[in-house]
């Protein structure tokens, strides 16, 4: 009503373009993209994993719901999206998107109904399985045996390039994607290091490196092959692939575990090789910061998950740092009759 009066009595000053919509109407018309932009601008500097949050926004929330008006989002729509088959295959990332949606709503719209609040999350299998000393030896023997065909005319169960890639994942503690995409130009044989261009924890202040000391025999052989063939990839794909390098070592890994007669293999994946090295380093007394550098973790809390205390490590710590009781007792002087 006030707007109509202003337009009637002072039309030369006020027109329909100078009167903005009410804040309520503007908020109701906002899309999820605008809310996510506001959340990012306000909070990105205070997030523990800003890169991971940005990736979740870019790959999950924005493509699925970015253009949707905020007041049109419903729990049923989010639930249908969360239950898609591709999300069930990668439950941790789908869960992360839902958790991030809850966090955005709590931060920017605390008094409104949160459509992300009641979405049930997928149960995540805890990645706690590591190799025992006996399993490490059996796994190595099984992997070597897979390179030899069992009979004349039969092909081996594993190619040399895939076996070499598994050895390097195990020896460096690197992520599968980091090891499989190594190029010849990234290898420094003298320093026994691999310098990574891009990685999960990319940081301009520090260069991510892989320690190659434990697998230098494999690395030298792969570098010689690269120099002879001119192929830039350390682990080239035997078949045509979009990347040009080996992309999957899961089948060979699980076959080696089966041949090694391992039990409780449900929680085992090639990532267990990286986890196994981390556990060995920490149980052997390696400082947590050093282990963080080897694994390439941005947050030391990620490294601390691998630190497993057991009776043997506790006993070793007490033995090395405990105060030993002296064999001879120190004589305590008795007070004399005259006083002190």
Q: What long-range pairs does 111-119 form, CB within 8 A, spacing at least 24?
A: 115/73, 115/74, 115/75, 115/77, 115/78, 116/78, 118/75, 119/75, 119/78, 119/79, 119/82
Q: How far from 151 is each of 69, 146, 243, 255, CA to CA, in Å?
A: 64, 12, 33, 18
In CATH, what number does 133-319 get? Answer: 1.10.443.10
Helices (H), 183-270: 216-229, 250-259
182 contacts 235 by C-beta, under 8 angstroms: yes
Using a pLDDT cut of 70, give the percent of the chain over it: 75
The reported pTM is 0.60
Would you state the pLDDT for residue 337? 56
Whole-angstrom Cα distance, residue 277 to residue 170? 7
With cut-offs at 50, 70 and 90, classify the pLDDT of residue 122.
confident
Q: How far from 246 is each of 34, 51, 110, 163, CA to CA, in Å?
A: 40, 26, 47, 11
Using a pLDDT cut of 90, give the percent of the chain over it: 28
Whole-angstrom Cα distance, residue 173 to residue 211? 8
Tell whether the model's pLDDT for residue 202 goes beyond 90: no
pLDDT tens sequence across 154-193: 777 888 999 999 999 999 999 988 999 999 999 999 999 9
pLDDT tens sequence across 300-330: 888 887 766 555 666 666 776 655 544 444 4
Phi/psi for 231 (5° steps) reads -80, 130
Which of residues 308 and 98 earns the better pLDDT score? 98
Whole-angstrom Cα distance, residue 280 to residue 237? 31
Whole-angstrom Cα distance, residue 230 to residue 218? 18
Mean pLDDT over 74-92 rounds to 85
Would you state the pLDDT for residue 324? 52
pLDDT tens sequence across 43-68: 887 776 777 888 889 989 999 998 98
pLDDT tens sequence across 242-259: 888 998 898 899 999 989
Q: For 194, which DSSP code?
A: E
């Amino acid at each position: 009503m006030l707007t109509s009066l202003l337009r009637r009595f002072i039309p030369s000053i006020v027109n329909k373009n100078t009167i903005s919509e009410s804040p309520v109407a503007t908020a109701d018309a906002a899309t999820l993209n605008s809310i996510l932009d506001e959340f990012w601008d306000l909070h990105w500097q205070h997030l523990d994993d800003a890169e991971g949050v940005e990736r979740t926004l870019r790959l999950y929330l924005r493509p699925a719901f970015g253009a949707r008006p905020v007041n049109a989002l419903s729990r049923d729509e989010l639930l249908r999206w969360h239950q898609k088959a591709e999300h069930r295959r990668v439950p941790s990332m789908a869960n992360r998107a839902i958790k991030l949606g809850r966090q955005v709503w709590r931060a920017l719209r605390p008094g409104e109904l949160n459509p992300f609040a009641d979405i049930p999350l997928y149960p995540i299998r805890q990645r706690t399985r590591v190799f025992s000393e006996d399993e490490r030896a059996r796994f190595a023997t099984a992997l070597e045996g897979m390179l030899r065909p069992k009979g004349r005319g039969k092909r081996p169960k594993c190619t040399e390039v895939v076996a070499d890639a598994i050895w390097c994942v195990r020896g460096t503690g690197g992520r599968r994607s980091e090891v499989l995409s190594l190029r010849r130009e990234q290898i420094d044989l003298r320093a026994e290091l691999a310098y990574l261009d891009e990685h999960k924890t990319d940081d301009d202040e520090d260069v991510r490196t892989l320690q190659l000391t434990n697998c230098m025999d494999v690395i030298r052989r792969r570098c010689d092959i690269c120099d002879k063939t001119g192929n830039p990839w350390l682990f080239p794909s035997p078949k045509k692939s979009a990347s040009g390098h080996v992309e999957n070592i899961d089948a060979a890994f699980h076959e080696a575990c089966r041949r090694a007669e391992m039990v409780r293999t449900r929680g085992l994946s090639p990532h267990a090789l990286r986890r196994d090295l981390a556990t060995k380093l920490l149980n052997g007394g390696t400082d947590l910061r050093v282990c963080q550098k080897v694994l390439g973790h941005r947050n030391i809390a990620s490294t601390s998950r691998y630190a497993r205390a057991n009776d043997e490590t506790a006993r070793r710590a007490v033995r090395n740092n405990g105060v030993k009781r002296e064999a001879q007792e120190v004589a305590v002087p008795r007070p004399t009759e005259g006083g002190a």
